[in-house]
A = this chain, B = another copy of it.
Amino acid sequence: MKTLRPAAPAAHQILSIVTFLSTQRGPAAAASVAAALGLPRSTVYRLLGVLVEHGYAIHYPEAQRYGVGIAAFELSSGFTRQEPLARLGAPILATLVDKIGESAHLAVLNGRDVVYLVEERAPHRPALITDVGVRLPSHVTASGRALLATLPAAQLRALFPNAEAFTVRTARDAYSLRDLRAVLATVRANGFAAEDEDVTEGLASVAVAVRDHSGWPAAGIAVTFPRDHIDPERWPDLAGEIRHYADELSRRIRGATA
């Protein structure tokens, strides 16, 4: 096999190293990295140094081991980025909840997951799985579906390249990309996303996406309620309500994009 042309050894190697570190149960010795990847010792030390500098690896001197650094984890948690969104979203969610009397969330897409940034619980409503900071597989949640539905096909494929991407969680969401695409097609057709006891028994949710100035989905707003409180026929109306607030948030985001 050729494809020799565009090489950048240091770049390749450093990515191999982080990947390797992340597959190890705990921190790994420099030598084992070198052995596993077939790299020269001096190179490994140099690159580990760079990784540590950037926070993608941590060196534990007493153990003489190297582990994955917090920068690597922050690639996916990025709360800094989301904090303004949460600040802008919270008051809007509050009025939304006041108006309709059911609980609501604000969530963002993060890899294949959604992360919940704000939760506003309506009075006399059950506690929800989705506390702030919780992360759930996007394809089973209403806000996740609302967000996924806005993505181009290519990206969807990239996010869920194989069946494995769907597995692991509970048994009940045995999905395929084909299934997901069907679900998202109805989302686009309806103009809103829903989830009916896919997350918690007895609860359903309706969600819409909030777009930023470039049209990209910045967040999702979902309302969750006991499923027998609102007839499915009325979900589109509910979605309409939500969209009103989503648009408001959308407007505020555009203003505040630093």
Contact = CB atoms under 8 A, between A and B. Distances in A.
Contacts of A79: 168
Question: Interface residue tally of chain A, by bracket?
Answer: 35 or more
Nearest to A110: B73
A50 B10 CA distance: 10
Contact of A214 (B9, B26, B155, B214): B26
B136 A75 contact: no
A70 B129 contact: no
Nearest to A12: B50
A218 interface: yes
Interface of A: 6, 8-16, 18-19, 22-23, 25-27, 46-47, 49-51, 53-54, 56, 58, 60-63, 67-81, 83, 110-113, 127, 129, 131-137, 152, 154-155, 158-159, 161, 165, 168-170, 200-201, 212, 214, 216, 218, 257
